[in-house]
Chain A
Amino acid sequence: MKRSYTPYLLLLPFFVIMALILVSIWNVLLQSLGYIPAFGLTTLTLDYYKAVFQQEEFLSALEVSLRIALQSALLATMLGVLLCYALVKRGHSKGELLYLVRLPILMPHAVVAVFVISLFSQTGLFARIAYMLGFIIDFNQFPALLYTENYGAAIAAYLWKEIPFVAYFVLALMSSISSTLGEAAENLGASPWRSFFQITLPLSLPAALKAFLIIFIFAFGGYELPFLLGTTVPKALPVQAYMAYTSPELRDRPYAMAMNGVILFLSLAMALLYALLTRKLLKQTGGRE
């Protein structure tokens, strides 16, 4: 019945997708090593990587992107887990409120950029409210988050989208843990917070870690938000790479691809770190049981 080639047949479309990704990675790496025969570049060299690591623009872009990714992933994971717990404990793991929480996940990034502009600019709604309440007497006193080096607006936009994402992502696991083990602990006399920090949180950690990884890589490689909300110098790394890619000077392309190569390496390194961490985590919890 089950002929041995059936699974491979079923996987055919999947293999096509894989092949496309591998071709793309291959193209990026080859061009980053300076191999573009159409432009007369035929020697493989690491010079382009060396060169970008000496560019101040690249280094500051790398720093900006790492910072955006780290800050938004950390905050989103922590606040998202808390939101998830609130949903579980207040009995909202199903129903209307959950639809509301899922809303930001569905929002396109470009639209979220519009939200952030209308709320967080120095003449935005929050600045106006602060003025009405007498916190500031001039819009200049409102912290500049848009189009500045701190990339506050881009981080705010990611948080708006990703906190609900984390909550939704962790929800299934946490609600099953909380309803069984968490409540058992509370019945045995543990305070609600103690039961959260000692039982529910540690056991939900694998899902939270995975959410962290997804957000980190997404924000690290994200284009729209830093492009629409960021400043001219420094740019986020994908924006910087795309700028080099769009340079009409064709011989700049290997630099663009070297930047893409760096994005790729760091994303994969992050995933590897995650894999090691979960393995360790699994061993620990496995050992305890």
Chain B
Amino acid sequence: MMKQQTFLKLILLITGVSILLPIAVLLLWSVTGRWPWPNLLPESYTLRTLQELFFGSAKLPDLLLSSITLAAIVAFLATVVGILTARATEFYDFKGKSFVRIGSFLPLLVPGTVFAMGIQITLIRLGLSDTLVGVVIVHLIAAVPYCITIMTDVTRAVGQRMEEQAMVLGAGPFTAFFQVTLPALLPGILSSMSMGFILSYSQYFSTLLIGGGRVKTLALVLVPYIQSGDRALSAVYSVVFVGSALLIFFLFEALIHHLERGEETR
């Protein structure tokens, strides 16, 4: 029988290859002209895709800007909801607390497609269909349960004692929160924001239905190219999509790292 350590090593190796291989193939496809069967590598390469990307109809800078702005707003608001909700459930006793705990999982139990089809009519009536606000609302539903979970964990870990001490020393409740608790929560806030950002960034269905094509995101441009079978263009848009998401994600990670290290040396 194979030694356990060898077996586990093999699993990690397979995992690594399975994760990296499609990404490598994606990069290759993004500049492929023809790739006839059964060649293992493309027969010809092309810059058509890059041309379309930078000089084409999609106006890449606008597209990136609107996707990123949308995701940033969602990340910010979802995290605010997370902070406030976590504060309420961690620091206070009140009627209906268990309802809130269960309720915060509700968005995970209602599939995004069902929610979007159900809420569309209400948003049309409120005049929020085809607007950024409408899309922010539907994205928030997807992001909030994760942000609440993250913020609850962090809030519990940080606790309330420091804030209470500051108030004993004469600080007002807002000053105490902003000057004492918020900095301590910061790593958690950043990871909650990065989670909210990624979730909003990847949404397709709800953006399509509620945004009505007026709120433009990378996902909305990418999907038609996948449908039409243009593999090179799908690949190049995927590269931009993933590249920008990862860039922002690792930016957050670096910040969190920085903060945590600062904490340790203090």
Contact = CB atoms under 8 A, between A and B. Distances in A.
Interface of A: 2, 4, 6-8, 10-14, 17-18, 20-21, 23-28, 82-83, 85-87, 89-90, 92, 97, 99-101, 103-104, 106-111, 113-119, 123, 125, 127-129, 131-132, 139, 160, 163-164, 192-193, 196, 214, 217-218, 220-224, 228, 238, 241-242, 245, 256-257, 260, 263-264, 267-268, 271
B15 A264 contact: no
Interface residues of B, number: 77
Contacts of B40: 125, 128-129, 132
B109 A139 contact: no
Contact of B222 (A90, A106, A110, A242): A110
B249 A224 contact: no
A17 B235 contact: no
Interface in B68-127: 77, 80-81, 84-85, 87-89, 91-92, 94, 97, 100, 103-115, 117-119, 121-122
Given A83-B15, A113-B226, A224-B223, A17 B94 contact: no
Given A8-B94, A160-B18, A217-B111, A256 B117 contact: yes
Contacts of B97: 7
A90 B205 contact: no
Contacts of B4: 89, 192-193, 196
Contact of B92 (A6, A110, A217): A6
B80 A106 contact: no
Contact of A118 (B25, B118, B198): B25
30 contacts: A4-B94, A7-B92, A10-B87, A14-B104, A18-B103, A18-B106, A20-B137, A21-B110, A21-B115, A24-B119, A27-B119, A83-B11, A83-B12, A86-B11, A87-B12, A99-B253, A100-B20, A106-B198, A106-B245, A106-B249, A107-B242, A110-B222, A113-B226, A123-B37, A125-B40, A224-B205, A228-B223, A242-B117, A257-B117, A264-B114
